[in-house]
């Protein structure tokens, strides 16, 4: 039985990945800074909490990482840990940089030091590219990040590339564009929109206040994307891949689909506030996931409209008064 360690198992991607690996027959270890105190609510929501063996590991502590790898001896390690909010990274830039770049470096160095035959997946981000205008970003597009989060992810990407070349480690980075699900916390704008639309449909008189709704993103479905993560580590050689749907939509389009799902006109319930704008932001994000399609045989199964509908359906199921 293959053993996999997922650092950051309590997050959206970590939970869906754990479920995928369990279905493939893996023995799954879930890493958290304090496994005794963490809630693991996403694992509970997916009904797999009892099937994941949780372990305490702080990836900002090299000794903790090394001890964990030597004890478990995993076949695959998935690095999904670290501060995950672009908006929050402007308020906590030091925490963001340390949790992402230092954590990744500790994993790489611990794998090298342990000399174990471990395959590492590193969670990259489209935020590394910055604003590419109408040009669709691929694996050769230069990085020009516009947020502390993007800077941290770019640093981690180059650390992985360096260790792969210098020490022949099997280490790959997935450069993932936006991917959503009901497991997102409400600080993420897609979940914030879905939750508010359902409350308003129930009778709430609130207004949904957002920042710039003219930004455009490539939105995908998180369960699709964890399949790509696994596929990357099944290749004979490590490599980096852009993971995206290849379709970009404006945030206002996502809003419209969500409010249409609950029978409301979004323009009557949404307002914008410039104080919600980020100091620097990406106006539009376009992706070219051709390498993933050609080498991994992976394509996104859900587009933005599907993502919005699925998130609303889940929210309605969670609150029976909304059910049709």
Tens digit of pLDDT at every position of the chain (324 positions): 899 999 999 999 999 999 999 999 999 999 987 766 677 999 999 999 999 999 999 999 999 999 999 999 999 999 999 877 787 878 889 889 998 999 999 999 999 999 999 999 999 999 999 999 899 999 999 999 999 999 999 999 999 999 999 999 999 999 999 999 999 988 899 999 999 999 999 888 999 999 999 999 999 999 999 999 999 999 999 999 999 999 999 999 999 999 999 999 999 999 988 777 777 678 889 999 999 999 999 999 999 999 999 999 999 888 756 544
Same domain, 11 and 140: yes
Whether 149 is catalytic: yes
DSSP 25: T
Same domain, 17 and 76: yes
> For residue 297, is it within any domain?
no
Same domain, 199 and 124: no
> For residue 128, is it within any domain?
yes
CB 217 within 8 Å of CB 177 = yes
49 to 46, 54, 225: CA distances (angstroms): 8, 9, 21
Same domain, 124 and 253: no
Active-site hit among 32, 84, 101, 125: 125
16 to 27, 227, 230: CA distances (angstroms): 15, 9, 11
Local structure of 240: helix, strand or coil: coil
> For residue 291, is it within any domain?
no
Active-site hit among 84, 127, 180, 225: 127
Same domain, 35 and 144: yes
Same domain, 36 and 155: yes
- pTM, entire model: 0.93
**How many structural domains compose the chain?**
2
Q: Check which CATH number belongs to the domain holding 190 and give it.
A: 3.90.25.10
Same domain, 71 and 191: no
User: Which two structure tokens, joined as six digits, stand for 63?
Assistant: 């000794």
Local structure of 242: helix, strand or coil: strand
Active-site hit among 16, 29, 78, 149: 149
Owning domain of residue 278: 186-217+249-284+303-322
Same domain, 46 and 165: yes
Same domain, 55 and 137: yes
Same domain, 267 and 169: no
Same domain, 234 and 272: no
Whether 127 is catalytic: yes
> For residue 293, is it within any domain?
no
Same domain, 50 and 99: yes
């Amino acid at each position: 039985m293959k053993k996999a360690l997922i650092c950051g198992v309590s997050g959206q991607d970590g939970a869906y990945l754990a479920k995928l690996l369990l279905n493939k027959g893996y023995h799954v270890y879930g890493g958290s800074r304090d496994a005794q105190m963490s809630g693991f609510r996403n694992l509970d929501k997916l009904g797999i909490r009892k099937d994941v063996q949780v372990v305490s590991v702080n990836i900002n502590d090299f000794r903790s990482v090394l001890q964990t790898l030597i004890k478990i001896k995993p076949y695959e390690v998935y690095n999904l840990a670290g501060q995950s909010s672009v908006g929050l990274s402007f308020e906590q830039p030091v925490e963001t940089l340390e949790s992402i770049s230092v954590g990744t470096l500790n994993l790489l160095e611990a794998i090298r030091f342990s000399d174990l035959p471990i395959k590492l997946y590193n969670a990259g981000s489209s935020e590394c590219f910055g604003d590419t205008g109408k040009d669709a970003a691929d694996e050769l597009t230069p990085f020009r990040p516009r947020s502390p989060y993007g800077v941290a992810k770019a640093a981690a990407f180059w650390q992985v590339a360096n260790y792969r070349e210098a020490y022949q480690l099997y280490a790959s980075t997935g450069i993932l564009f936006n991917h959503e699900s009901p497991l997102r916390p409400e600080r993420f704008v897609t979940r914030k929109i879905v939750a508010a639309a359902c409350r308003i449909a129930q009778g709430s008189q609130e207004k949904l206040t957002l920042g710039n709704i003219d930004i455009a993103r490539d939105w995908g479905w998180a369960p699709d994307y964890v399949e790509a993560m696994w596929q990357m580590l099944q290749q004979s050689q490590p490599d980096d891949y852009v993971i995206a749907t290849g379709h970009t939509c404006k945030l206002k389009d996502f809003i419209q689909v969500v409010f249409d799902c609950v029978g409301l006109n979004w323009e009557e319930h949404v307002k914008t506030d410039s104080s919600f704008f980020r100091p620097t932001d990406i106006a539009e994000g376009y992706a070219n996931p051709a390498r993933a399609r050609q080498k991994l045989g992976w394509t996104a199964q859900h587009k933005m409209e599907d993502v919005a509908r699925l998130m609303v359906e889940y929210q309605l199921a969670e609150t029976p008064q909304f059910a049709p």
